[in-house]
Amino acid sequence: MIEVEVKARVKDPKLVERSIVALGASPIGIETQADTYYSAPYRDFAKTDEALRIRVQDDKYFLTYKGPKMDTVSKTRREYEVEVNDANCIGDILSSLSFSPVATIVKKRKKYRLGDFIISLDEVRNLGDFMEVEISIRDSKSYEEKVESIFRLFEKLGMNRDESIRKSYLEMILERS
């Protein structure tokens, strides 16, 4: 699966939320997520632009691998995710294979659906407020078109492409350390 995604910092989350609702987006729900990212013993994920994480989302757990970003304007990348029964066990398995936890990112996420788009308003601990717009596709043939459609949605929300951020929350947290 390819996750086509664009993210931006949000100065006024309530204003953006009102704009999202005014466009006809439907609320999906509110989630609390704690993402623990791991480094590999055999290559530097920061240099290869990859990510491996365990996500605790309310009472569910996910193991996710994200490949390198596919372009220079968005956060589009291949993503493989599987729900797991026990986050601690997966963490122990990764540690046994010499993977090391790097950082944990905690956020409160409000999610909306607008057509094929998932719009997330994130309140990220120690980073602030952000909006992510994403759409999942099966192959890379149409991803550039999807990126442009996300930027058009940004414009409808009063934002422009120059406000987009390609850095992950992990990259931002590590820069602050």
Give dist(CA 90, CA 34) in Å, integer. Answer: 15
Active site residue: 37, 38, 61, 143, which one? Answer: 37
Alpha carbon distance 155, 30 (integer Å) = 25
Q: Is 37 a catalytic residue?
A: yes
Q: Read off φ and ψ for residue 12, nearest 5 degrees.
A: -130, 85
Could you please report the per-residue DSSP string of 12-80?
Answer: -HHHHHHHHHHTTPEEEEEEEEEEEEEE-SSS-HHHHT-EEEEEEETTEEEEEEE---SSSSS--EEEE
Q: Are strands 51-57 and 60-66 parallel, antiparallel or unpaired?
A: antiparallel
Query: Which residue's structure tokens are 């006809």?
Result: 24
Question: Residue type for 43, please?
Answer: R
Catalytic residues: 37
